[in-house]
Amino acid sequence: MPADLFRVALTRDFLDRAGRVGFGDIGLAALDAADGLAYEFLEDDHSELPAGSLAGFGAAIVLAPRVSRTSLQGADDLLVVARFGVGYDNVDVGACSEAGVVVTITPDGVRRPVALSALTLVLALAHRLPEKDRLVRTGRWSAKLDYMGEGLAGRTLGLVGWGNVGQELTRLAQPFGVRQVAFDPFADASAAARAGVELVDLDGLLSAADFVVLMCALTPETHHLIDAARLSRMKSGAYLVNVARGPVVDQRALTTALGSRAIAGAALDVFEQEPPAEDDPLLELDNVILSPHAICWTDELALGNGQSAIAAVLDVAAGRRPKYPVNPAAFGHPRFESHLNRAARRIDEVR
């Protein structure tokens, strides 16, 4: 093996039982085509990568396993941990920064598929898709007049969180003629005005929206942001959609609100506990659509995330700073800097 080969590890959980990439095409062709680089899937599937498992690798593309301080032991060549997705709660970013390891995410990969997922859930609720499915299956075809849906034109879409995904949903929802309001303390007011989105406070949003869509980051401030009091501010005919993170909603309060029809319904891709307990009363309700934190899992997502994570790895291998770092401070770490300088010198020599 050449001494300067840049080795890339992919966590084992990318592979299904048959040893194929479970997501389908994640853009590995770009790694195949790269000179001076070799990749392999880690031999074992771990919930936390053990010490030594990343030894000899310059990069790790990580799906679910935890990358802890212990995982970094012996990872003396590691420069980048590329998360396949935008959540990075499974990576000890502090430990990575201290070790001069850049952590990257794939916002360009999730943007469209997650926004489309939110729109899918809004449309499924508006058109009462699950109820109509049940009418056909249970021989109640003629009851369809009792299940009128709602057109989106003139209705109000309330976006809680107007970041990467929220702004994409705004673009996708524009042709439906829906009024859009958003609550995001960090939103750029002029960008919102240009996009035709009215920035409002949370209570204003909850009382105005026919569809409340949660697309904010999970932070100490957004934990249980939607609690019993906030749910009580929603219109009785309104729907709640959560594609962000389960703990943004007080799920017990939501279950009560749905059970008493204080709101019309909800659609959830994320839960406080994943998977929910088998006896969770939420599972008994007929006015909630449930999805196993996978509503956005499509070939588009897989390829987009894969290409983005691989681009980060190729950037680092070639001595460039990757596009979507979580801890840009790691760029200034002597280990990372000296790698970039070495790589730049190598490229100059080749030229």
Ligand X SMILES: NC(=O)c1ccc[n+]([C@@H]2O[C@H](COP(=O)([O-])OP(=O)(O)OC[C@H]3O[C@@H](n4cnc5c(N)ncnc54)[C@H](O)[C@@H]3O)[C@@H](O)[C@H]2O)c1
Residues annotated catalytic, as ranges: 245, 274, 293
53 vs 242 by CB, closer to ligand X? 242
Least distance between ligand X and beta carbon 202 (Å): 7
Question: 3-class DSSP state for residue 179?
Answer: strand
Q: Is the peptide bond before 275 cis (omega within 30 degrees of 0)?
A: yes
86 vs 264 by CB, closer to ligand X? 86
Site residues (CB under 6 A) for ligand X? 86-87, 107, 110, 114, 160-166, 183-186, 215-219, 221-222, 243-245, 269-270, 293, 296
67 vs 187 by CB, closer to ligand X? 187
Least distance between ligand X and beta carbon 186 (Å): 3
Least distance between ligand X and beta carbon 7 (Å): 28
In this structure, how many other beta carbons lie within 10 angstroms of the beta carbon of residue 259? 14
79 vs 214 by CB, closer to ligand X? 214
User: What order do you get walking across the sheet with 211-214 strand by strand?
Assistant: 198-199, 179-183, 156-160, 211-214, 239-242, 265-268, 288-290
Please give the Cα distance from 198 to 177 (Å, whole number).
14
Nearest residue by C-beta to ligand X? 163
Least distance between ligand X and beta carbon 5 (Å): 33
Q: How far is CA 345 from CA 31, 35, 101, 124, 323, in A?
A: 22, 16, 21, 55, 21
Amino acid at 247: P
On whether the CB atoms of residues 215 and 116 are closer than 8 A, the answer is no
